[in-house]
Structures are given as C-alpha cells and as structure tokens.
Amino acid sequence: MQRKIMVGGDRLSNLPESILFHILSMLPDRKQVVRTNVLSTRWRFPWMSVPVSLNFDFSYFILDFVISTHRELHYWRSCQKIQKFNLVFDIRQERFIKDVDLWVYFATKLANAEEFDLEILFGDTY
C-alpha cells in the first residue's frame, strides 16, 4: 500500500485566524473544542480564547456536584472568555456556602462572564 505525501504542508495551520475561531465557536461541545489542539501546532492554544458557556445544574448528590464543579472550573481557569455561566444549586447544608461564593467569584471576577445566571434552592418546599 502506497502512502500519499502531502505537498504544500499542513493546510489547517494556514487557515486565517478568523476562520479558525469561527470553526471553534461552531463546535457544540466544549470538549470537542479542546480536542482540536491535536490537529495542528497552531491549534494548540486558540481554544482558550473561544467563548464558552458553563452550565452547572445541581445533582442529587451534593458532594459529587461540588467536587465536579470545582474540577470543571479548575479546568477552565485559563479560558479567556466565559460567555455564559449558569449555576443551579440546592443549599441543604451550610458547609457548601463557601463553595458557592467561590463559584460566583470565579464567574464574576476571574472569568468576567458576559451572562450570569444563579438559582439557589433551599431544599424541599411545601
């Protein structure tokens, strides 16, 4: 089997920056955006500049939710632009109030989110 040799170099690396960012912004999942860094050396860091939307919706297991939210925010700490930050959380235990404060600080101060939605639930209501 013969291999084709590409003449003219890597076409992805030659794309204009505006097209590169347009392609990245059209990907539906932020994990897909991050995966593009393997396509070309030029694509290694531009994903950090693409606006992302972060959505954290409370799950039944509070501790799992807190840990996964911290992990996700740590992952996106170097992202230059957060387009939307959405947090829905049920505070059943006061020990998690500091976590919520940290998430709000991240969204409003560090990430400077363009849109910020916060919904705090206080357990069962009858």
Question: Which strand (E) or helix (H) includes residue 71?
Answer: helix 62-75
Average pLDDT for 63-89:
80
pLDDT at 82: 79
Same domain, 102 and 63: yes
Q: CA 118 to CA 73: how far, in whole Å?
A: 16
| CA neighbor of 50 nearest in space, from 38, 68, 32 | 32
Rounded CA-CA distance 51/101 in Å is 23
Q: How many domains does the chain have?
A: 2
Categorise residue 112: left if φ over 0, alpha if ψ from -120 to 50, beta otherwise: left
120 and 62: one domain?
A: yes
In a domain, 104, yes or no: yes
pLDDT band (50, 70, 90) for residue 77: confident
Domain membership of residue 120 (yes or no) is yes
Q: How far is CA 53 from CA 6, 85, 86, in A?
A: 37, 6, 8
| Structural domain containing residue 33 | 14-50
* Position 125 pLDDT exceeds 60: no
pTM above 0.75, yes or no: no
Tell me the pLDDT band of 42, cut-offs 50, 70 and 90: low
Residue 126: pLDDT band with limits 50, 70, 90: very low
| 32 shares a domain with 58 | no
Query: Average per-residue pLDDT in the chain?
Result: 74
Pair 83, 54: CB distance under 8 Å: no
Higher-pLDDT residue of 9, 104: 104
Residues above pLDDT 90, as percent of the chain: 2
Q: Do 126 and 79 share a structural domain?
A: yes
How do beta strands 82-90 and 52-57 pair? parallel
Q: Are residues 42 and 60 in the same domain?
A: no
Q: Are residues 105 and 125 in the same domain?
A: yes
Return the pLDDT at 40: 65
Q: What digits encode the pLDDT tens for the residues 11-33?
A: 767 778 777 777 777 766 666 76
On whether both 80 and 18 belong to a single domain, the answer is no
